[in-house]
Each structure stands twice: as structure tokens, then as C-alpha cells.
Structure 1
Amino acid sequence: MLISQGFVKFHNIDPVLFSIGPVSIRWYGLMYLIGFIFAIQFANYRARRSDNDWTRNEVSDLLFPCFFGGVFGGRIGYVLFYNFDLFWKDPLHLFKVWMGGMSFHGGLVGVISVIFWYAKKNERSFFDVADFIAPLVPFGLGAGRIGNFINGELWGRVTHVPWAVIFPNAGPFFRHPSQLYEFVLEGIVLFLVLHYFVKKLPPPGLISGLFLAGYGILRFFVEYFREPDSHLGLLGGFISMGQVLSLPMVVSGVLVILCSYRFQRQ
């Protein structure tokens, strides 16, 4: 629960949902499970629509490799992007998953790699597969951000806004609940935007481009409220690693959108 004192709220949520003997079920893991279940159900719903040529078997054959590609890519990306010094000194740090650490941008590379593999294997175009996957992602992202908030991690920068939160591991400072900002923007807003355009029967590549550009812009914006990683700080004194990694997404997404509309007119 959140204990309120005046306008400031103290984060006091137990990250463990319940325990059975030595086994603990954590909210964070549950959030990702919910996100994955939603992706399966939503993908099957889209596959049943008459304007889609996907079957339930194809959905399961695609989603499970994408899930593992996202997990492995997320771990590799986190180590290389945010803890390369540790990896350089100890390459086995890559496998110390119990120490935590996942990167969305690394997970994205992992999923894109799976999409390339799947498209080639099943003789589909890359954007046919990518456009089908993209609308499934925001809900999982939003669920993950709720998990971050419950864990009291990836907190925001110091502030005095009325909804500020004091996180137990972030010192006695009032901070933005940036995890909830990301939940709203990356989870809800991005999902609604993509779903709106999906219903318009867009040209190939448009949904993928919107996802890349949309997430990149929203993440770049939220980073102004999110505390930079302590060991990295602001690169050059003004930009975070999350923003650096989001810029290529914005550029790539815009280019894909422009190409999508250009090919549609031809």
C-alpha cells in the first residue's frame, strides 16, 4: 500500500505477492505473465478476424520465440548498454540473471531478430510479421512498469509535485512515480494509437513504424522525469542512456512510416 502523509506518499508495497515454503511469487513476475497472456489472447482474437491470414498455430509458433528473444535480448542489452564495464571485467556477469537487469531496447533487438527468422522460415514479409506483433507489445510494457513501481525500482527524479512518492531504496527524497508515467504512455496511449491504426487496414510497415517512433518519443519524454542510472548519470551532462537508445527508434520509425505511405501510393 501507499501510506500518505500530506501530499507525499511513502512507497510501502511488498514486492512478494505470497510465499509457499521457500518459493515466493513476486508481483513483478506476475505482471509479465499477465502481459504475455494478454498478448496471446489478443493475438488469437486478431487471428480470428476475417481481414487476417493468421492461424492460432502460427500465433503460438511466433509468440513463444518472441518471448524468449525479448528476455534474452533484454538481458544482453542491459549488460552491454548499462553495465559494459562489469561485462568487460567478468563476461560471466551476463549470466548472473539473479542480480536483475533488463533493457527494453535490447529486448527489442531480440524480438526483431526472431521476426526476421520467422519471416524467412515461413516465407512471409518482415513487415507482415512485425505489424502483427507490434500492437501486442504495449500492454506487456505497461504491465512491466506496474511491476517496476511495486518493486520500488526505476524511480523518478526528485520533485515536489503533489503526487510525489518516497521510495524506500531511493533515500528520503520526494520523487516522480515515473514508472506510472511510463505505464500510461508506453502501455495505454501507445496501445490505443496502434489499435486505432490497425482498424484502418494500414499499408505494410505503418504499424511497425508507429510503434518504433511512438515508443521512442514517449520514452525520450519520460526520461526527463526518470532518475538516470547512478553509475552512468547523464551522458554529456544532458542526456540519459535511455534517450540515446530511443533516438534511433524515432528516426527508424519515421523512415519506415514514410516508406510505407510511399509504397502505398505507387
Structure 2
Amino acid sequence: MIYFHDIDPIALSLGPVKVHWYGIMYLLGFSSAWFLGRRRIGAGRLPGVDANGFSDLLFYAMLGVVLGGRIGYMLFYATAEFIANPLLLFKVWEGGMSFHGGLLGVLAASWWWSRKHRLHLADTIDFVAPLVPLGLFFGRIGNFIGAELWGKYTQAGWGVIFPSGLPEPLRSLDMATLQAQYATGALDQYARHPSQLYEALLEGVVMFVVLWGWSARPRPRYAVAGLFALMYGCFRFAVEFVRMPDNGLYVAFGWLTRGQILSLPLIVLGLVLLLLSRRAPILQPVLPAGEKA
């Protein structure tokens, strides 16, 4: 059944303070990373690092996600707006975060943390990779609630009508009028692929199940990070075919999007890391002091 999107992006209002669903999704993403990371630390999956060390890593990674994601979005997808008004960089609550920018931010944060703790960067990234998909899942749910990054038109029964995606003059109508037209089926032709939910399923659920299960046993260095990069790059590249291109423009060939171009390096990186892992050492778990196998 075609669904009419009418979700308030504000989850809670306390006077002048407004709590957005988008922020709650980020909180859930970081909380899930903390919970899963504590389990991996307890299992000795990052030798020499205790719970306090992991808390520092998570803090740096959070900064990398927020700063890198926001800066990446403004540079990759909203360059002109950013140049015209640099203060847009700080309006995180309005949405607009780039995964690729966030990834670069996390890599930079992990490099800094690994350098301080004298650990191989690849071991840190292999440790972090299985913690990320649930954060991606919550982030895409936030995109759906915020009615952003929707897909192309579809006649599929699970299509979603996004009021912000309607053409003029429909987009200017009040919600009650749109609801009435939706009830008669007059808006069904404007139903779109819920591409945010496709990505939540693939980048979030599928990647988490595969990576968490596969990393449950010690793997060669680079292997977990390589599988993460390869899976994300392939999933994102595929979903872009049913997702509206950023700013409504294709970059090349009448079908290639900016998201696909940014995903190609990840696919290549994933393949390279998996090849390197074939001759790399396997990091064996070392239980923290006081823990029993």
C-alpha cells in the first residue's frame, strides 16, 4: 500500500528547545557503537586497549563523524551554498551529512588515536568496522523521518509520497488538503522509492549481520575493513539507481550520480584491502587483565 509521509521531524518540544528525530538517531547510532565496542574490547579484540581506551576512541570517532560528515556534505553536495553562507556548516539539525566525509573524519580520528596508543591503524579500523552499520541504519531512518534523500518515482505498492517531493503547485498545499487528495488516490502517481529504507536495510542490517558474524573469529589484518568498504560501495552504488541524484543532476552518461562516483573508490579500496589481507598477520585476541576465556 502506498504510504503518505507525514512524520514530524521534531520528536519533542520543551519550550524553545526542540529535539529532532535526526539527533536521536545519531544518539542511538553512537550508543549502539559503544555497546558493541565494549563487547569486542571485553573479548580482547583490540589487545592492549581497555574500556577507557575504547571510550577515548569512540569520542574521537564521534567528532570525526560529525565534523567530517558535515564538512563533506557542504563540500561535496552544497558547495555554492557553503561559499555564500559558511555558517550553514553549523546547522547540523537541519540534516545534510555525507557518509564519505564522515568516513574520512573517522579515519583521521582513528589515525590520531592509534598513533597515541602505538597501534597499527589497520587493526583499529578492523575493530571499528563492525560497529558502524547500526549507526548507518539509524542514520538512514533519520533521513526517512526527515523526508530527505528520497528515491525516484515508482508504481510499486510500497512507494511513499513525500510532500516535499511533490511538484508545484501541489507542494504548496497544506497537509490536510494533501491528505484528502491522497485518500482518493490522486497522489499515487507521485509515489517514490523509499531509498532511505533500502539503504537502511542494506548498509545497516545486512552489513551488520555479515560483518559482525564474520569478525566473530580472528581475521587477517585489513580483511574486516576491506569487506566493509566493498559492501558499502556496492550497496550504495546499486541504490543510487533508484535514488534521486543530488541536486537533481547526473554527473555523467545521463545516469552516473555523484554518490556513485564517491562509492567507486570504496569498492576499489575494499578489493585492495582484501588482497592485502591474504598475506597479512592475524591479530589474536588478548583478554583484558582479570578476564577469563
Settle same-fold status: TM greater than 0.5: yes
Superposition deviation, residue 179 in structure 1: 0.6
Say if 2:41 is the partner of 1:47: yes
Cross-structure match for 1:114: 109
Residues 220-264 of structure 1, C-alpha deviations (whole Å, 9 max, x = no match): 111111111225x11122111111100000101110110011335
Equivalent-residue separation in structure 2 for 1:245 and 1:108 (angstroms)? 12
Please report the RMSD computed on the Cα atoms of aligned residues, expressed in angstroms.
Answer: 1.7
Counterpart AA for 1:164: G
Cross-structure match for 1:34: 28
Equivalent-residue separation in structure 2 for 1:199 and 1:52 (angstroms)? 13
Relative distance call for 1:88 and 1:21 in structure 2 (3 A) is closer
Say if 2:211 is the partner of 1:194: yes
Cross-structure match for 2:133: 138
1:19 is paired with a residue of what secondary structure? strand
Cross-structure match for 2:172: none
Cross-structure match for 1:72: 67
The 5-angstrom pairing of residues 173-252 of structure 1 reads: 173-230=190-247, 233-236=249-252, 237-252=254-269
Superposition deviation, residue 158 in structure 1: 0.7
Equivalent-residue separation in structure 1 for 2:2 and 2:279 (angstroms)? 51
Could you tell me the TM-score, scaled by structure 1's length? 0.92
Relative distance call for 1:191 and 1:183 in structure 2 (3 A) is same
Equivalent-residue separation in structure 1 for 2:92 and 2:36 (angstroms)? 29
Which structure's relative contact order is higher, taking Cα pairs within 8 Å and 6+ residues apart? 2
Could you tell me the TM-score, scaled by structure 2's length? 0.84
Counterpart AA for 1:244: I
Gaps of 5+ in 1: 1-6
Superposition deviation, residue 194 in structure 1: 0.8
2:278 is paired with a residue of what secondary structure? helix
1:238 is paired with a residue of what secondary structure? coil
2:206 is paired with a residue of what secondary structure? helix
1:14 is paired with a residue of what secondary structure? coil
- Greater Rg by CA: 2
The 5-angstrom pairing of residues 246-261 of structure 1 reads: 246-261=263-278
Cross-structure match for 2:148: 153
Counterpart AA for 1:250: I
Gaps of 5+ in 2: 167-186, 283-293
